[in-house]
Amino acid sequence: MNKTVQLQDLGLKDYKDTWDYQESLFKSVVDAKIKNRREALTLPTTNYFLFVEHPHVYTLGKSGDMANLLVNEEQLAEKGASFYKVNRGGDITYHGPGQIVGYPILDLDNFFTDIHKYLRFLEEMIILTLAEYNVKAERSPGETGVWLDVGTPFARKICAMGVRASRWVTMHGFALNVNADLGYFDNMIPCGIRGKAVTSLNVELGVKEVSIEEVKEKLLKHFTALFEAEFKYAVAGL
C-alpha cells in the first residue's frame, strides 16, 4: 500500500484545462491497476492531490438540473464566467478566485475501499481546519459538504463537495470558500438546495482576507492525519 501523495499546487488555472489534467492522472492510475491485475503484478500505484484556484466557472454534476443555473450564456459572458457539465456527483456549484479547490486523485486501495468514509474524511478535514479559526462547522444530514449553523434558519454552506470514483480511484473533490466573492452564488441555486445560504471564511471572521497558503497548510496537516498519508511536493505536468 502506497500512502505517499504527490502534491501539486497549480495556482490559478482554467477549469477545463485542469479537468483534462485530472482525467489524465486518473486514467494513468486506473490503467496501472488494470495492468497489475492482468499481469498479476504488485507494482505500487500513485496518489495525487491537486490544489487550484479557478477563474469564475459554474459546473453541473451528472445528476444536476440545468434549471439551477439562473443565468443564460450571454449573462455568463458578461460576468466573465464559464459553464461546464462534468462527470462528478452532485448538482451545480461555483468556483472562483478566493476559493481553495482540492482534487485528490487517490487509489483508495492504498487507504480504504469505502467511498462514504472517503467523503466523511474530506468533510472532517475541512471541519478540523475551520475549528482552528474558531469557526464551528458540521455536516448536514443528507447533504454532502460542510455547513455552519445546521438546523437553524441561518444554515449556510462553506464547502461544497462532489467526487467521481472508478475501480476505487477518485477524482474531483472539494471547494472551500476562503475569500470568495459570494455575489457569484446568486446566479445559481447552490447544489440545487433552495433556501440555504453560502458563506466564506473571511466573512465569518469579519476580515477582508484570510491567508490562502495558511489554510492550505492546515488542510494538508489534517488530511495527513486522517488518511495516515505523507505528502511529496511535485512539479505539475499541466
CATH number for the domain spanning 213: value is 3.30.930.10
CA distance 92 to 192: 6
159 noted as active-site residue: no
Strand partners, 171: 164
pLDDT at 87: 84
CA distance 108 to 123: 17
Helix (H, G, I), strand (E, B) or coil at 72: coil
Pairing of strands 138-140, 143-148: antiparallel
Tell me if 158 is assigned to some domain: yes
pLDDT at 205: 98
pLDDT at 170: 98
Mean pLDDT by runs of 10 across the 238 residues of the chain is: 96 96 97 96 96 95 86 89 87 93 98 97 98 97 92 94 95 97 86 75 98 98 98 82
The C-alpha R_g of the chain, in whole angstroms, comes to 18
pLDDT at 110: 97
| Residue written as grid cell 472551500 | 176
Tell me if 225 is assigned to some domain: yes
CA distance 220 to 130: 13
What predicted TM-score, i.e. pTM, was given to this entire model? 0.94
Q: Give the residue numbers of the binding site.
A: 88-95, 160-162, 173-175
pLDDT at 1: 86
Q: Which of 102, 113, 1, 88 is nearest to 46 (CA)?
A: 1
Q: Give the residue numbers of the binding site for substrate.
A: 88-95, 160-162, 173-175
Pairing of strands 82-85, 57-60: parallel
Tell me if 84 is assigned to some domain: yes
pLDDT at 195: 63
> Residue 63 sits in which domain range?
4-233
Tell me if 81 is assigned to some domain: yes
Give the chain's domain count: 1
One of 101, 191, 215, 219 is an active-site residue; which one? Answer: 191
Tell me if 35 is assigned to some domain: yes
pLDDT at 207: 98
Residue type for 71, please? V
3-state secondary structure 140-198: ECCEEEEEECCCCCCCEEEEEEEEEEECCEEEEEEEEECCCCHHHHHHECHHHCCCCEE
Tell me if 238 is assigned to some domain: no
